[in-house]
Structure 1
C-alpha cells in the first residue's frame, strides 16, 4: 500500500509498505535524541529497555514529552516531574494507555472547528451580536483559541464567547457563555441580572418561587423552568431589546417538547404557571396557546398528584416520602395552579379547570405544611370568588349559551355584591398584604359587575346595575393609575403596568371597553362624561404602555378602541351640547343598545361583542386613510369639532414619539374610521368599513369565526410569529 505516513513529525518521508509487516509500516532506526518511543509501532519495549540502560530510573517518558517526541527525564519512583513540564507549567503524568495524536489529523480537526465557529459567528451576527474586529476573528491564534503549545483547543462555547461581543458591553475577555438554548447563549452576569429583574419586577405578582435559590439550581430542577424565568425577565430587558424575540422560538420549542414527553415533576408545572401568567406576546389571539397551556398545567399537576400532596406515592411507581419542606412546596404549587387557571379562565372568558378541595381549604390556626403565605391565601380567596361568579352566572345548564336568566342573575348580583363587600373588608383590613392583592380584588369586583351588559332595559334595577358597573370601572382603573404612580406609601416603585400579568391587562381592556360603551350610550347623561373621557384616554395610554413588541395584541386593541371612540364621541358630545344649550335636562330614554349579542364569553363577552360589532361596521363602510388621521390628529376639546373631524385620531391618544406611528403605518397601510359615524351606528353595528387591510386592527379574528363571513385571510402577522414562533 503506497503513501502510508509514519506517525511523527512533518519531516517523516513517505515509504512503501513492506510485505508482511503489520499495518503496512515498519520501524526505522532513529537515535534517542529524536524520540523515546512511538506508540503503535510495536517497538516500545525495545525503546524502554534502551532508556533503562541509558538513564537509570527512567522507565517511560511522560505524556507531554511523548506527544512531542522529546527526551524526558521524568522519574517514576519516587515520582519527580520532568524538567520540561516543570519549566512550561504542564501537567506531568504517565499513562500506560496514552496514544499520541498526529499533527495532521489534529490540524484537520482544528480546521473543521474553525469553519464551524465561523458559521456560528455569522449566525450570531445575524441575530444582532456585534463583532469587534473581523480581521482578528480570522486568526484563531490572535484570539487565544489555542493553548501555548498548540496541543489543545477550547470548546465551542468558550470559543464563541471569546469571539462575540454582546451588546451588554462585553469584550474579548468577557466571561464565557454558561447557558445556551439553541443559538441563544447567556453569560453568568446576564443570567444574574435577568433573575434579579424577575425577582424585583415580576415575582411580586405571583410570589411562589424562592428568590434566594441560585439560577443554577433552577436549571438543575428543570431547564424549562430556568428558561421560562429568563424569558419573563426578558420582556423589558433594556440591555438587549432583541433577547425576547431571540428566545421566543427556542423556548416555545422546548416547551412543547417537554409537554410531549409527559412531564412528571412539579418543576415543569411551575414553569407552566409562569408561562400562563406572562405569555409570549402575539399579534393575534389565533397564536395564543395560553388557554390550552392552562389546561395542560392542571392536568400535569393532577397527573403527578399535586392535588393530593400527602399521598404522592399513589401517583408514582415508587414509594415517595416527602419531608415538610417538600410537602409545603407542592401545596404552594397546587395553590398557584388554581390561582393561575382561574385568572386565565376569567380573562379569556372560558370555564376554568380549577379544583378547590380539602388541600386548599382554609384552616384557621393551622401552621402546618398546608398553610399558605398571607399573599397567596388572599389571592386564592379572590379567585374562589371569581369562580363562584363565573359558575353561577355563566354556567346555566338550561340555557344554550350558559347564561342565567335576568331574574336569577339580578338576584345573584345582589348576593355576590354582599359577599364581595365582606371579602373586601376582610382583605383590606390586613396590613401584611401588598397593593397587588387589592388590585386583583378590584378586578374581581369588575368581573362581577360586567354582568350588567347582559340585562335588558326592563330588568328590575337595570340603571342601578349600570351605575354599579360604572363605579367598579372607576375603582379598578383609579387603583391601576394610583399604583402606576410612584408613591412612598407603597413598596412598589411605580410603572407596574410594564410588568403586569396578562390577566391584569385583560381586565384593563375590559374596563376600557366598558367606558367606551357607557359614555357612548344613553347612560352618558347619568355620569360625569368629562371624567369618563379623560379616564378613557389615560387607559388607552396604559394599554399601549403594556405593549411588548410592535403591533402586538395590546397595541392593536388600543388602536381599535381609538377608532371606535373617534366614531362614537361626536353624537355623545352633540347630545350633551344640545342639552346644555336648552338649559334644561331632557329625560333619559332607556333602550337596549347596551345589551350584548356575543354572550358566550362570560364577563369578557363585552370585549368580543365590541370587536364583533366593529367588524360589521368595517365591512359595511368605505375605506379611510390612516396616514391622514395620524398626521392631523383632532383635538378632542376643540370647539370646532365636527363629524368630519372624527376621521382623525384623538390627539391625546397619539404615541409620545413618531416611532410607533411609523410602525403602525408600515403595518396597516391605510385604514381609518369613515366620516360621520355616530354613537348608535358605531356601537350598535349598523354601518362599517371596507375589509381591505382591516386585519391589522382585528385582534380577535379567530374567536369571531362563524359569526360573520369575511372574504379575506390574515396576512399581516408581525411580531414574534415572524421570529421563529410558528
Structure 2
C-alpha cells in the first residue's frame, strides 16, 4: 500500500508517470522494485533492500557486468566438464570404433556423460571458489597455482583426417598405420594402451600420435611418407621439448623414437643416445620414478587411478629399458644408474602377458646393467696388482654366469615369447663379449673365446629362426640390431682368425655369416642407412684373406678399441675397415707391399660363400668414412 501511495504522489507532483528504476538486487531476482527515478534523488534504498539489509544501488552497466560474469562462469564450468570427461575416459578406457558408433550415438553418449558429471563439476567449482574467498587476510605473497594441464579431449573423438605441415593422412590411413604399429612394433616394448583410439592419442598429444605414425611408416608402400615425416616430426619433437612443463605423453614419444629412430647413414648424425638422456631427465622431473608420490613433483593436484598407476609404471619401466639398452648398444656409459628400488615389482597380481613381457625385459636389462658396472675396464685400473685384478675378473665371470643361469630359469618358468628369449640371449652375449678384453695369457682364455663364439652363433641363429617364423627383422628395434651387428662381427673375427678351426664348424660359420649379412640388409629401412652399410662392412671384412701381403694375420682378436664395453668388437672392426680405405688413398711412401688399393680387395666373393649379390661401395663411389667414428 505504501508503495502505491508513493507512486501516486510522484504522479500528482509531476503531472506525468515517474519512470521506474530497479536496483541491482531486485533486477537480479527479477522482482518489482519500489525505487523510482524521483525517489532515487532523495532516498537510495528501496523497501526490499531496507528490509533485508542489502546494498541497494543502481549501475548503468549492470547488464554487461552480469553477462561477463555469466560467460566467465560458463567457461569455468566447461573446462571442469572437459576435465571430468578425460578422467572418465582414463578410468573406463572406452573406445568407440567408427563402424559401431554413429554420430548420433556419439552425441548421445557425450550428452549423457555431460549430465553425469555436471553435478560434481558444479560442486568442485563451488568448493574452489569457497577456498579462494576464505584466504587469510593480509597475505602479500600467494602461491602461483598452475592451470590444470590435463588435455581437453572429449571422450568420443570422431575419426577424421590429420595433418602435419603439408602432410595429410586420411582417417582410414591413420587406422591402418596404428594397427600396423600395435601388431608388429609394440610387442617388442609393450608399454602403451592398444585399446585407446588413434584420435584419442592425437587429442592427448600430437607428438605421440605422429611418433606412432612415423614408426608404422617404416615399411609403408608410400616411399615419400617416411622422409616427410622424419623432417616434420623432428621439428615437432624439438618444439615440444621447448615447452615446459612436460607430460607423460612427451616421455612416451621419446621412448618410441629411441626404440625405432629415423634412419640415418652415420652414428655421428644419430641423436638416439642424446634423446634417451633427455627422456630420463623428463621422467625424473615429472616424478615418473615414484608415481605413488607424484604430487611432490607438481603444483597441480595429481589423482592417479589404478589404470593411471599402471600406465605410469609401464612407462617408467620402458624408460629404463630403452635408456640402458641404447647406452650398451652405443658402447657408452649408462645415462643414469638403474634405480632398482624405484622400479615396479616384476611379479604382481592381475598382471597380463603384456605386463609380464615388459617386466621380464626389465629384469634382463637390470642384469645387463649389473654386468656393465662389474666388468667395465675402468673398474680394474684403480691401483690393483695385475694378477689380483685378473683373478677378480675370473671370479666375476663365474658369479655373473651363475646369475644368468638363475635369470634363465626365471624366464623359462614364465613361458616367455620368442622376443623375450632373444633379449635373454643378447644378455648372455653381452657378458661373454668381455672375454675379448682379457689378456690372452690368462688362464682359460681359449675356452672362453670358444664359448663366446657359440654364444654369438646361437644368438644369430635364434634371431634368424624367429624372423622366418614371425618376420621380426622388418620391425627390429634399434638395440636389437646393435646386438645383432656385435654378434655378426664377433663370429667373423673368431672364424677368420684361424686359431679355432679344430674346435668350431668353419663351414657352418661361413653359412651363418652369409645369412647374417642378408638379415642386416633386411633390417635396412632406407637406402644407405646404418643396417645396410654395416651389412656391407661385415661382408667386406669377410672378403679379406686371412693373411695380408706382408704375411701378417688380417683378423686379430687383440682389440685396438677397448673402451666401448661389450661393443668394443664393433668399433674395432670399423676402425680396421676405415683403415683399409684410408691406406688405399695414401701416397705410396713405403713400397708397394704395404699399400692397399681397391683393386687388391676386389676379390672373387664366391670363394667366401657370399655369392654374386654382394657389392661394396668404394670411396670414389661416395662412401662415408665417418661411419661410427
Q: Which TM-score applies when normalising by structure 1?
A: 0.59
Match of 1:111 in 2: none
Name the CA distance, whole Å, in 2 between partners of 1:456 and 1:254: 49
Q: 1:429 aligns with which of 400, 413, 421?
A: 413
- State the 1:411 CA deviation: 1.9
What pairs up with 1:110-259 in 2 under 5 angstroms?
178-238=161-221, 240-259=222-241
CA pair 633-458 structure 1, distance change in 2 beyond 3 A: closer
Name the CA distance, whole Å, in 1 between partners of 2:570 and 2:316: 30
Q: 2:442 aligns with which of 459, 473, 476?
A: 459
1:495 aligns with 2:471: yes
- State the 1:620 CA deviation: 2.2
The answer on whether the counterparts of 1:556 and 1:698 sit within 8 Å (CA) in structure 2 is no
The answer on whether the counterparts of 1:541 and 1:653 sit within 8 Å (CA) in structure 2 is no
1:598 aligns with 2:547: no
1:294-326 deviation line (CA, Å, top 9, x unaligned): 000000000000001011111101222212111
1:610-654 deviation line (CA, Å, top 9, x unaligned): 11122223222343259x95xx953226xxxxxxxxxxxx64372
1:624 aligns with 2:598: yes
Which moves more between the two structures, 393-402 or 279-288?
393-402
1:338 aligns with 2:309: no
The answer on whether the counterparts of 2:286 and 2:298 sit within 8 Å (CA) in structure 1 is yes
1:476 aligns with 2:459: yes
| Number of aligned residue pairs | 456
Name the CA distance, whole Å, in 2 between partners of 1:387 and 1:401: 24
1:525 aligns with 2:502: yes
- State the 1:262 CA deviation: 3.7
The answer on whether the counterparts of 1:177 and 1:188 sit within 8 Å (CA) in structure 2 is yes
The answer on whether the counterparts of 2:346 and 2:356 sit within 8 Å (CA) in structure 1 is no
Name the CA distance, whole Å, in 1 between partners of 2:235 and 2:331: 27
1:635 aligns with 2:606: yes
- State the 1:336 CA deviation: 0.8
Q: What secondary structure sits across from 2:423 in the alignment?
A: helix
The answer on whether the counterparts of 2:265 and 2:627 sit within 8 Å (CA) in structure 1 is no
Extract unaligned runs of 5+ from structure 2: 1-157, 585-595
CA pair 263-438 structure 1, distance change in 2 beyond 3 A: farther
Name the CA distance, whole Å, in 2 between partners of 1:361 and 1:370: 14
Q: Which TM-score applies when normalising by structure 2?
A: 0.68
The answer on whether the counterparts of 1:401 and 1:599 sit within 8 Å (CA) in structure 2 is no
Higher helix share: 2
1:507 aligns with 2:456: no
What pairs up with 1:543-692 in 2 under 5 angstroms?
543-569=520-546, 593-621=556-584, 622-624=596-598, 629=602, 634-636=605-607, 651-652=610-611, 654=613, 668=617, 671=618, 692=619
- State the 1:241 CA deviation: 2.2
The answer on whether the counterparts of 2:285 and 2:297 sit within 8 Å (CA) in structure 1 is yes
Q: 1:414 aligns with which of 394, 398, 403?
A: 398
Which moves more between the two structures, 210-219 or 406-415?
406-415
1:534 aligns with 2:519: no
Name the CA distance, whole Å, in 2 between partners of 1:264 and 1:414: 44
CA pair 465-263 structure 1, distance change in 2 beyond 3 A: farther
Name the CA distance, whole Å, in 2 between partners of 1:383 and 1:313: 29
Match of 1:382 in 2: 364
The answer on whether the counterparts of 2:493 and 2:556 sit within 8 Å (CA) in structure 1 is no
The answer on whether the counterparts of 2:207 and 2:237 sit within 8 Å (CA) in structure 1 is yes
CA pair 371-312 structure 1, distance change in 2 beyond 3 A: farther
The answer on whether the counterparts of 2:377 and 2:563 sit within 8 Å (CA) in structure 1 is no
CA pair 620-395 structure 1, distance change in 2 beyond 3 A: closer
CA pair 351-653 structure 1, distance change in 2 beyond 3 A: farther
The answer on whether the counterparts of 1:553 and 1:699 sit within 8 Å (CA) in structure 2 is no
CA pair 233-401 structure 1, distance change in 2 beyond 3 A: farther
The answer on whether the counterparts of 1:194 and 1:233 sit within 8 Å (CA) in structure 2 is yes
The answer on whether the counterparts of 2:559 and 2:572 sit within 8 Å (CA) in structure 1 is yes
- State the 1:340 CA deviation: 0.8
CA pair 418-199 structure 1, distance change in 2 beyond 3 A: same
Match of 2:623 in 1: 696
The answer on whether the counterparts of 2:408 and 2:424 sit within 8 Å (CA) in structure 1 is yes
The answer on whether the counterparts of 1:537 and 1:653 sit within 8 Å (CA) in structure 2 is no
Name the CA distance, whole Å, in 1 between partners of 2:354 and 2:337: 17
Q: What secondary structure sits across from 2:313 in the alignment?
A: helix
Name the CA distance, whole Å, in 2 between partners of 1:654 and 1:369: 48
What pairs up with 1:9-48 in 2 under 5 angstroms?
none
- State the 1:591 CA deviation: 13
Name the CA distance, whole Å, in 2 between partners of 1:217 and 1:614: 49
**CA RMSD of superposed structures (Å):** 3.1
1:471-508 deviation line (CA, Å, top 9, x unaligned): 1112211111110112xxxxxxx221110101111111
The answer on whether the counterparts of 1:331 and 1:369 sit within 8 Å (CA) in structure 2 is no
Q: What secondary structure sits across from 2:428 in the alignment?
A: helix
Q: What secondary structure sits across from 1:459 in the alignment?
A: coil
The answer on whether the counterparts of 2:605 and 2:612 sit within 8 Å (CA) in structure 1 is no
Name the CA distance, whole Å, in 1 between partners of 2:519 and 2:574: 19
Q: What secondary structure sits across from 2:605 in the alignment?
A: coil
Name the CA distance, whole Å, in 1 between partners of 2:220 and 2:327: 29
- State the 1:565 CA deviation: 1.0
Extract unaligned runs of 5+ from structure 1: 1-174, 487-493, 576-588, 638-649, 656-660, 672-691, 704-726
1:444 aligns with 2:392: no
The answer on whether the counterparts of 2:583 and 2:597 sit within 8 Å (CA) in structure 1 is no
The answer on whether the counterparts of 1:325 and 1:369 sit within 8 Å (CA) in structure 2 is no
Q: What secondary structure sits across from 1:373 in the alignment?
A: helix
Q: What secondary structure sits across from 2:161 in the alignment?
A: strand
What pairs up with 1:350-369 in 2 under 5 angstroms?
350-352=332-334, 353-362=336-345, 364=347, 366-367=348-349
1:295 aligns with 2:277: yes
The answer on whether the counterparts of 1:510 and 1:604 sit within 8 Å (CA) in structure 2 is yes
- State the 1:368 CA deviation: 8.0
Q: What secondary structure sits across from 1:396 in the alignment?
A: helix
Name the CA distance, whole Å, in 2 between partners of 1:300 and 1:258: 12
Q: What secondary structure sits across from 2:304 in the alignment?
A: coil
CA pair 539-363 structure 1, distance change in 2 beyond 3 A: closer
The answer on whether the counterparts of 1:324 and 1:369 sit within 8 Å (CA) in structure 2 is no
- State the 1:570 CA deviation: 7.0
CA pair 322-282 structure 1, distance change in 2 beyond 3 A: same
- State the 1:274 CA deviation: 0.5
Q: What secondary structure sits across from 2:163 in the alignment?
A: strand
Q: What secondary structure sits across from 1:299 in the alignment?
A: helix
